[in-house]
Amino acid sequence: MTHAHYLARRAALAAHLGPHGIAIVPTAPVQQRNRDNDFQFRPDSYFHYLCGFNEPQAWLVIRGDGHSTLFCQPKDLEREIWDGIRLGPQAAPAALGVDAAFPVEQLDAELPGLLDGCDAVWFPFATHKGLETRVDQWLGNVRARARQGAVAPQRLCDLCAVLDEMRLFKDERELSTMRRAAQISAAAHIRAMQLSARMLRSGQPLFEYHLDAELLHAFRQHGSQYPAYPSIVAAGANACVLHYRADAGALRDGELVLIDAGCELDGYASDITRTFPANGRFSGPQRALYDLVLASQQAAVAATRAGARFNDPHEATLKVLAQGMLDLGLLDKNTLGSVDDVIANKNYFQFYMHRTSHWLGMDVHDCGAYTEPREPKASRILQANMVLTLEPGIYVRPAAGVPEAFHHIGIRIEDDAVVTADGCELISRGVPVDPDAIETLMRG
Ligand code: GLY
Ligand code: MN
Ligand code: MN
């Protein structure tokens, strides 16, 4: 993103605030991991969306007239030796295109003056611990100067609502970053598949962490800063644990591996799941369930286009999955009735307990309302340049009446879709989903 992009976003936001509104946006806090050791810093997505600044301890204040102020860490030679170069308030206006900049230590001193005369204060509700209290204090300070003519804002407004709506629609630059992120992730999945087959073929012990390492290597090799979320590498029965993390499970000949992993590139996430046979060849029962999940994903893809509702891909998925569960004997036709009954009574939930989609963008579960703004409770109407995942699955835990051949099989297939006028663009198909293509790839 360039200067001009961030300026345009700040101007678009300012237009929402009204001439006397003011927005306050902090970046993310540094989080301690243990003792002297912090988690790697990642800026807050809203903050980064508006200025692209990567340092911790920073705040952006934007007025309705378009004026923007950055509060950031001051230059400090001693600290910079340990922690790295700081931009500093003096260089910030030229570097970031903000109108003014102050050391972050002056936040409490400057904010009351900035708020004086504004009618509404906008900040992200319920996202930053303690922010409401600080806003209260600043407002209190303005009121304390009422006799000197200070006028305190009377309305607090949730900034998330405005920024979520802006972020829901991706521009061409964002889409191009997301395409690259998805390509890097797809290449990483291919490497993991090939490593799995190669190591099992040569009789070497293979654990989930080997594939996790392979994914991370491929992400970083191509310039991704970090995984967009902790990679799931789930061998065999571990795939039935939805939030499993790559651990030390052994990959065994004859079992499947589920990998849900995507890199983050320049602030944008990708999110891909593939399920493949560790040794490169699906067994009969594995293939039967895989074909069903793939068919359900194809139904979701076919239901994704501008004008459709966000829930449509999910409903299309459910129809295929529920019918397949009856056909394969996972669900008992004789007692449960038709596919419509299975859906109405949620019997499919035993094997498919999550939803098919979420928005994707700067955050892997990205912001954006899932209901229509002017039609409360109605599923969102998809529009071009929204990005969502399509990720059906089946997870078979042993239970009475469930054919043993399917026990412990967990399968999910997840792709990233950009909504277009007449369909969707799957940006994550650099790694195949077709089971024959996966087998061919793993033989290579
Ligand atoms: N990887 C998180 C998700 O698929 O939603
Ligand atoms: Mn997902
Ligand atoms: Mn995922």
**Ligand 1 atom nearest to 273, measured from its CA:** 4
Q: Is 99 helix (H, G, I), strand (E, B) or coil?
A: coil
Residue 79 CA, ligand 1 centroid: distance in Å:
38
Secondary structure E strands in 31-129: 32-34, 37-38, 59-63, 68-72, 100-103, 120-123
Q: What's 406's DSSP letter?
A: G
Which domains does the chain show, CATH number per domain?
Answer: 3-165 (3.40.350.10), 169-443 (3.90.230.10)
Q: Output the CA 90–ligand 1 centroid distance in Å.
A: 41
Q: What residues flank ligand 1, with Cβ below 6 Å?
A: 229, 260, 271, 358, 364, 391, 414
Ligand nearest to the CA of 389: 2
The predicted model scores a pTM of: 0.97
Residue 443 has what pLDDT? 93
Beta bridge partners of 63: 22
> For residue 232, which atom of ligand 1 is closest to its CA?
1
Mutate to test the pocket of ligand 1, among 271, 366, 413 (most ligand atoms within 8 A of CB): 271
Residue 19 pLDDT = 94
- 269-297: buried (b, 16+ CB within 10 Å) or exposed (e) per residue? bbbbbbbbbbbbbbeebbebbbebbbbbb
CA distances from 37 to 30, 77, 84, 139 (A): 10, 21, 16, 35
Structure tokens belonging to residue 263? 């890199």
Nearest atom (ligand 1) to Cα of 365: 5
Please name which of 231, 273, 276 lies closest in space to residue 251, comparing C-alpha atoms.
276
Q: Decide: helix, strand or coil at residue 240.
A: helix
Q: Residue 229 C-alpha to ligand 1 middle, in angstroms?
A: 8
pLDDT at 77: 96
Atom of ligand 1 nearest to the CA of 354: 5
Q: Which two tokens stand for residue 154?
A: 């009377």
Please name the residue whose Cα sits nearest to atom 4 of ligand 1. 271
Ion ligand 3 residue ranges (Cβ < 5 Å): 260, 271, 414
CA angle 15, 88, 117 (to 5 degrees): 35
Residue of minimum CA distance from atom 3 in ligand 1 = 271
Pocket test of ligand 1: the residue of 245, 258, 414 to mutate, having most ligand atoms within 8 Å of its CB, is: 414
Q: pLDDT means per 10 residues in the chain (444 residues)? A: 91 96 98 96 98 98 97 97 97 97 98 97 97 97 95 97 97 98 98 97 96 98 98 97 95 97 98 98 98 98 98 98 98 96 98 98 98 93 98 97 97 98 98 98 92
Distance 352 CA to ligand 1 centre (A): 14
3-state secondary structure of 131: helix
- Pinpoint the alpha helices (H) of 124-207: 131-143, 159-168, 172-201
Q: Which are the catalytic amino acids?
A: 36, 243, 260, 271, 354, 358, 365, 391, 395, 412, 414
CA-to-CA distance for 420 and 21, rounded, in angstroms?
Answer: 35
Q: Which of 264, 297, 364 to mutate to test the pocket of ligand 1 (most atoms within 8 A of CB)?
A: 364
275: its two tokens: 């399920």
Do the beta carbons of residue 118 and residue 153 sit within 8 Å? yes
pLDDT at 332: 96
* DSSP assignment letter at 229: S
